[in-house]
Structure 1
Amino acid sequence: MVVVAAVYFVVAVGAAVMSGRGLDRNLQGPRLRAAWAEGLTAEARCTAVRTEEVQDAEGGFVLNARPTLEFRTADGRAVSFEERQSRLVPAEGDFVTVHYSAANPEGATTRAPSFGMRHARAVITAAGCFFALVSAVVIAVVG
């Protein structure tokens, strides 16, 4: 039964790692962490707000607002981007603070760095690995 538990553990850890990576990509973790890493911020002006109707998991429809924001980088370059994951929706003409990286200012975001967003991948992977270990021990002992 120990062999079965070991195989289960390896497969479950692999699934936990893939789930963590998938969630991180879905939440745009790499882009957001890159925007926050350098600590660069700028005041951006909302030039437009586009709304789109999307279907949620229960089949209902939800309106998503996507503001287009323009700002100047520290070196004076003008950047325009559409914010996809904003919790706040500025009105056209409003100013908001954006976080960006010098290497990819188009990947800017209005979202402030939170513990959950910065560490979602590690937390999900660690939780999955913990449950894999507990389950494998139970399989080895009980089986």
Structure 2
Amino acid sequence: MVVAAVYFVVAVGAAVLSGRNLDRHLQGPRLRAIWAGGRTAEARCTAVRTEEAQDAEGGFVLHSHPTLEFRTGDGRTVSFEERQSRPTPAEGDFVTVHYSAANPQDATTRAPSFGIRHARTVITAAGCFFALVSAVVIAVVA
């Protein structure tokens, strides 16, 4: 029973850390702050920068980073390079960007999604559920 309790505590801690790390990797805090502002604008793609990278298997992958320009609600013109645009707009295309009034240069074309908004909670809950089931099995078998 003690082994099951120790396992449960360690596994829940691992689930919490995994959820937090995934959230940071997916840029959850940054994106949630942008989406919370609720501001959108039409942006024009002024350029597309392409870089070549190597994937885990040694192959080469091209990453495109569009530079987008838009006007905020108070009339400021903001230009920024999108970090993760899918699909990548071509030069001259218009796309919708989400931004916060406090930090408009940190805008994104990524629309609010359930996965990004709740990744931390879902991963943590799934890990805690697995920890509970495993601890019960360990307690019954031991």
Q: TM-score normalised to the size of structure 1?
A: 0.94
Q: Please name the residue that 1:127 is paired with.
A: 126
**C-alpha separation in 2, matches of 1:24 and 1:42:** 26
Task: Give CA deviations for 1:102-135 in whole Å, capped at 9, x if unaligned.
Answer: 1221221111111111111111111111101111
Shift of residue 89 of structure 1?
0.8
Which residue of structure 2 aligns with residue 25 of structure 1?
A: 24
Partners of 1:16 and 1:39 lie apart in 2 by 31
Does the residue aligned with 1:119 lie in a helix, a strand or coil? helix
Runs of 4+ in 1 over 6 A off after TM superposition: none
Tell me if the contact between 1:80 and 1:106 (Cα under 8 Å) persists in the aligned partners: yes
Where 2:89 maps in the other structure, the secondary structure is coil
1:42 maps to 41
In structure 2, the partner of 1:138 is 137
Distance in 2 of aligned mates of 1:60 and 1:15 = 33
Quote the sequence identity (%). 86
Equivalence for 1:115: 114
Distance in 2, matches of 1:74 and 1:139, equals: 58
SS of residue matched to 1:90: coil
RMSD over aligned Cα, in angstroms? 1.1
Equivalent AA in structure 2 for residue 86 of structure 1: S
Aligned twin of 2:84: 85
Query: For residues 138 and 30 of structure 1, what CA distance do their matches in structure 2 show?
Result: 36
Instruction: Name the SS for the 2:98 alignment partner.
Output: strand
Question: Which residue of the partner structure matches residue 4 of structure 1?
Answer: 3
**TM-score, length of structure 2 as denominator length:** 0.95
Task: Give, in angstroms, the shift of residue 37 of structure 1.
Answer: 1.2
SS of 2:97's equivalent?
strand
Q: Deviations over 1:71-118 (max 9, x none)?
A: 111111221111111111111121110011112212211111111111
Unpaired runs of at least 5, structure 2: none
* Residues 96 and 110, structure 1, Cα contact 8 Å, conserved in 2: yes
Query: What amino acid maps onto 2:137 in structure 1?
Result: V
Q: Residue 32 of structure 1 contacts residue 107 of structure 1 at CA under 8 Å; is this kept in 2?
A: no
